[in-house]
Amino acid sequence: MEARSTAGTFFDGLSARPHPVTLRLTHRLEIVGGDVRRDWSLLDLRRSEAAPPLTRILHAPGPESVEFADADFAEVLDTRCPDLGRTERQGGLTRLVLWSIAAGISVLLTAIYGVPAASGVIAPLVPQSVEARLAKGVDGQIVGLLGNPPRCEVPEARAVLDRLTARLTEGMALPAIPQVSVRRHAIANALALPGGRVILLSDILDKAKNGDELAGILAHEFGHVAARDPMRAVITAGGTSFLLSLVLGDLTGSTVLVAVGQAAISAGYSREAERAADAFAVAAVGRAGGDGRALAAILERITDSDDEKPGATSFLRSHPFTAERAARIRALAGEMPAGPGILSEAEWQVLKKICPPKPKPAEGKAPAPVEKL
């Protein structure tokens, strides 16, 4: 029997990833390419619908299939495969659908339950040197997503912030020394990243009424650092992205779908992680001589502010149940401590000016036009 060959594309039926292969037709159909090696009986082949000149062939015992665009090869295949056009049994299609459903369910279950559970085990094992390198990339991504806001580094205010950070972390066994930066931004937010990096967006300083409130926000993020929650979140997002990519294949638009999947599954830390970070903050602020109840006050204030700006993304967007949290924070903090607070009023006023005033355009001079790309 004369052998015929042509180029084609193999699909495993579990993902949409195409595999370039060579098809060789004798008394069987051999499929070879990359790590693909198949030897199919001609009795198991079924033709599926496809737009000419493409021919799609299913393998009846499983979900796999091949495609090719060689009309001569298709004609020879027709003559050698007695059941190629058989339609009375849909076993191959049924198996394909069942395999696809099973694969989808297994990926979803693994992403929802398996990946977060695994990340909790893996995160503490990541070396600090690896986490520090990863932190630089994550920091750059976050800053880019925020529109590359400028850093706020007024020296006198920076010195106050460094002293506040030192007081809050004194005696703590943190996995990494916190590196706090402030970015000018019109959204009240605070973010903990891998490697001990914490970003304060400047509007959080405008919303805070005193140093104890800002200290509460800062200590809350240090609580996430202590628990390595940011590293756990990165591992969870990376694992979810890998699983979804495995099923979706490397297709146009798949990156968007992966991002949506990550956002839906990992929308903020768990309630348990938030409660732990709140408790950490109350204890840290209290040890530093501040009022732990101040965290509840600023959380409630930011929530009220969000009600006026429904489109804003603030510190509370991934921290639900504010009333419940505030009550618990006040219960943990107890009575208001004696003393002036964690920062003096003079220090607080200096810290609030960490972002220099925005430069004003010269009078009578219109701003330069923005060149369209």
Closest CA to 280 of 200, 347, 358, 192: 192
Distance CA 154, CA 303 (A): 29
Evaluate whether residue 359 is within a structural domain. Answer: no
* CB contact at 8 A, 279 and 332: yes
Evaluate whether residue 363 is within a structural domain. Answer: no
Distance CA 162, CA 171 (A): 16
Contacts of 69 (CB under 8 A, 6+ apart): 53, 54, 55
Of 56, 89, 122, which closes a domain?
Answer: 89
On whether both 139 and 191 belong to a single domain, the answer is: yes
On whether both 142 and 47 belong to a single domain, the answer is: no
Distant-in-sequence contacts of 344-350, Cβ < 8 A, 24+ apart = 344/211, 345/210, 347/160, 347/163, 347/211, 348/210, 348/211, 350/156, 350/157, 350/160
* CB contact at 8 A, 16 and 249: yes
On whether both 251 and 206 belong to a single domain, the answer is: yes
Tell me which of 242 and 68 has the higher pLDDT. 68
Evaluate whether residue 101 is within a structural domain. Answer: no
What per-residue confidence (pLDDT) applies to 141? 74
On whether both 124 and 66 belong to a single domain, the answer is: no
- According to DSSP H, which parts of the chain are helical? 71-80, 91-109, 115-122, 128-145, 155-169, 203-207, 211-227, 229-248, 254-265, 271-287, 294-308, 322-333, 345-351
Whether the bond between 53 and the residue before it is cis, its omega within 30 degrees of 0, is yes
Question: Which residue has tokens 């499929």?
Answer: 31
pLDDT at 244 over 70: no
On whether both 185 and 310 belong to a single domain, the answer is: yes
On whether both 274 and 309 belong to a single domain, the answer is: yes
On whether both 172 and 209 belong to a single domain, the answer is: yes
Tell me which of 354 and 250 has the higher pLDDT. 354
CB atoms within 10 A of CB 352: 17
On whether both 136 and 200 belong to a single domain, the answer is: yes
Closest CA to 67 of 31, 92, 41: 31
Total domains present in the chain = 2
Evaluate whether residue 83 is within a structural domain. Answer: yes
The model's pLDDT over 146-202, given as tens digits with 9 standing for 90+, comes to 888 999 999 999 999 999 999 999 988 888 888 999 999 988 888 888 888 899 999
On whether both 49 and 176 belong to a single domain, the answer is: no
Evaluate whether residue 277 is within a structural domain. Answer: yes
Tell me which of 63 and 235 has the higher pLDDT. 63
The model's pLDDT over 322-336, given as tens digits with 9 standing for 90+, comes to 888 899 999 999 887
Evaluate whether residue 266 is within a structural domain. Answer: yes
On whether both 236 and 172 belong to a single domain, the answer is: yes
Task: Give the DSSP H or E segment for 319.
Answer: none
Evaluate whether residue 367 is within a structural domain. Answer: no
Evaluate whether residue 95 is within a structural domain. Answer: no
CB atoms within 10 A of CB 36: 15
CATH number at residue 11: 2.30.29.30
Mean pLDDT score of the chain, rounded to an integer?
78
List the domain range (segments joined by +) for residue 18. Answer: 4-89
On whether both 177 and 29 belong to a single domain, the answer is: no
Residue 151 DSSP one-character state = B
pLDDT above 90: percentage of residues in the chain: 40
On whether both 185 and 306 belong to a single domain, the answer is: yes
What per-residue confidence (pLDDT) applies to 259? 44
Contacts of 344 (CB under 8 A, 6+ apart): 211
- 195, burial (CB in 10 Å: exposed 0-12, middle 13-18, buried 19+): buried
Sorting pLDDT into bands at 50, 70 and 90, what band is 26?
very high
What per-residue confidence (pLDDT) applies to 255? 45
CB atoms within 10 A of CB 229: 23
